[in-house]
Amino acid sequence: MQQECIVLNQDRNVTLTAYIQPVGGRFEYIPKRPAILVLPGGGYQYCSVREADPVAFAFLKAGYQAFVLNYSVGKFAAWPNPLEDVEQALTMIRSREDWNVYPDKVAVIGFSAGGHLAAAAATLAEERPNAAILGYAVAGSDVTGCNPTAPDTTKCVDQKTPPCFVFATCSDDVVPVQNSLDFCRALADAKISFESHIYAYGPHGFSTGVSGVHNRNTPLCDRVPDWVDDSVGFLRDVLGDFGDGKMTDPLCPRYTTGDNDPALSVDCTVGLLLENRQAVAVLGPLTAQLQGDLVKKMTLRGILGFAKMPADQINRIDEALRQIPNS
């Protein structure tokens, strides 16, 4: 592994540490790798080592290139400094040829204040990550208590926001669990795919939750360390897995329905399809059965599966719908 530490901004003490694994050779089916950028927590006052390398190791183990960003904190924490740092790091990760990163497979993970920053990158940045993992992240009205000039990310979720993985403990008394729930609510309302794990109990700042990072004498729900493998699985679902010479297609789409895609499909909600004259023509006599508020919220694929329509018939409808632009 090649380790490299780059000063991104000398004035603000911003550094990017790169952990780069080889490609090709004995990894012959791996020409490039997906990447993850780690944003440690520390209340925008410092960057905690407990949420830096130990997190990078988990994703290195999974085959990712890993990066740790020590972003602007303390007297340099004023917005938008930290977000600028993240964007600068993302741009570098995507463009440095010798790091062998798939530029469209770069995730970000952040904890506490770093989780706020990761969510800001996912919702506000010009240069967006392709997925975000948010650990007991500050959001909502608690943001200003942590960084007075920083934006409330629950209000910033948009259609460019990538899929997110959100975790926390229910009894966190530093960053209340409502922060995570409200950010999930915003994602759900925007139909962005997300995954969320809220564990029954445990204090703020558990990082990976294993005994080498979190003192086992401080009670922590024993399911907490599962978030690590679960988040690796989530990235595999939304970015794809290592295939033969390229990444496989993602199993989890970016949006929870097809309503945001450029063309129509059976993954659109019935309500959207019924508003489109061409779609109604494709559906023909089926249209009569697609009534009722509940049905309109369902995807066409969902309702046809419910009705046991054979897969090939569903596929034919899908092909026809995909000819129609979603306007």
- Whether the Cβ atoms of residue 298 and residue 269 lie closer than 8 Å to each other: yes
Query: How far is the C-alpha of 247 from the C-alpha of 184, rounded, in Å?
Result: 28
Question: Which residue lies nearer to its own copies by CB, 124 or 272?
Answer: 272
Q: How far is the CB of 58 from its own copies (least distance, A)?
A: 5
CB of 31 to its own copies, least distance (A): 13
121 Cβ contact list (under 8 Å, min separation 6)? 83, 86, 87, 90, 108, 127, 128, 129, 132
Say if strands 131-135 and 164-169 run parallel, antiparallel, or are unpaired: parallel
Comparing CB distances to its own copies, the nearer of 80 and 203 is 203
DSSP 159: T
SS3 301: helix
Q: Per this entry, what is the length of the chain?
A: 327
Query: Comparing C-alpha atoms, which of 260, 251, 127, 268 is closest to residue 187?
Result: 260
What is the nearest approach in angstroms of its own copies to the Cβ of residue 148?
A: 12
Which of 144, 323 has the CB closer to its own copies? 144
Closest contact distance (angstroms) between CB of 323 and its own copies is 23
CB of 126 to its own copies, least distance (A): 26
Peptide bond into 80 cis (omega under 30): yes
CB of 303 to its own copies, least distance (A): 8
Whose Cβ is closer to its own copies: residue 158's or residue 222's? 222
Of 12 and 236, the one with the shorter C-beta distance to its own copies is 236
317 contacts: CB under 8 Å, gap ≥ 6: 266, 282, 283, 300, 304
Residue 200 vs 281, nearer CB to its own copies: 200
**What contacts 174, CB < 8 A, 6 or more positions away?**
112, 136, 203, 204, 205
